[in-house]
Structures are given as C-alpha cells and as structure tokens.
Amino acid sequence: MSTDPTTVLTTGRLAVRRWRAGDRERAFDLYSRTEVTRWLGRSRTLEQLVEADALIERFRTRSADPRYGVWAVERRDTGVVAGSVLLVPIPDGGGEVEVGWHFHPDSWGHGFATEAARAAAAKGFADGLAEIYAVTHPDNHASQAVCRRLGMTALGRTDRWYGTELAAFRLAAPR
C-alpha cells in the first residue's frame, strides 16, 4: 500500500484516494463533459474551473467517515486521475449502500471502473456490509455491463431511490 495518507486502497493498476485540491483541473475536465454527467442524475455539468473546487470539497466531505467516500481513482503507472469511485450510503435508502463510478472518456474501455468498483465493494464487505447496490440510468448500458462483470444481480427498474426510475443491481457479501 502507498505511504500516501490520502490513499484508501490500491489495486494492481490503481490507487484509490481522497480527492485533492491539486486535482481541480482533472476534476473539471471530467465533470464538465456531458458524456459523463448525463448519467449522473441530479448532478450538473461543470461550466467553470472554480466549480471543481466546490465539487472536490463535497467529495472530501462525503469521505469523512473512513468506511465511505467518493474517491479519486489514480492510475499507478501515470499518476493521472482516471475518474471517481464511490461507496456511499444511499440518501433515504434506509442504510443501504451503493457503489458507483464516474470515469473520464480517455479512461473508458480499460477495465478501470470494474477494477476500482470491485476493490471498493471488497472494502465495504471487509468493513461489515452484507450487501451493496448499484444504480444506473436505464440507458447506461456501459455501467450495467460493469455491474454484470462485478457479479451483481439485476433487480430490474425501480424508483425507490433518488426520485427517478433507475436500473438497480445488488451484490451480496461473499460467504
């Protein structure tokens, strides 16, 4: 494991860590892209670099509890932030926790989302979770493929969370 105190976990290719102020340009580049933000529900596309500072602060606040967070996913070979992975309680979810991911288009198709989400889920299970959910926009077939690669069970569509219809998936802790 890295000696970087912001590192939450590592995989063969990735370091999952807290977002830093120095990540603002990459965060802006990622979250200013409609091809990314169109899948993020209530999130809006960033329009100015200064908005990335507030986004990073929000991510850091959601990462205050060491069990959960919205973390930067950094490629270990290049140091470039490929995207975000999250493991967070679902708002109004009755204690349910979701895993999710947002990746820059230059990092699509390399298996980073699956690798980061698998590691985040393993962390959640090691911290005592019995199950983890993922929710996607019904037309986000790429993220649904990640859910299948993670071994998640498709639960169909639901409007139970986030006030909109989503495709839901569930992963049970290994026995």
Domains of the chain with CATH codes:
7-172 (3.40.630.30)
Write the pLDDT tens digit of every residue in 129-158.
999 999 999 999 999 999 999 999 999 999
- pTM here is 0.93
- Among 50, 57, 51, 23, which Cα is nearest to 37's? 51
173/175 Cα distance (integer angstroms): 6
Write the pLDDT tens digit of every residue in 77-99.
999 999 999 999 998 778 899 99
- pLDDT averaged over every residue in the chain: 93
| Terminal C-alpha separation, the chain | 26
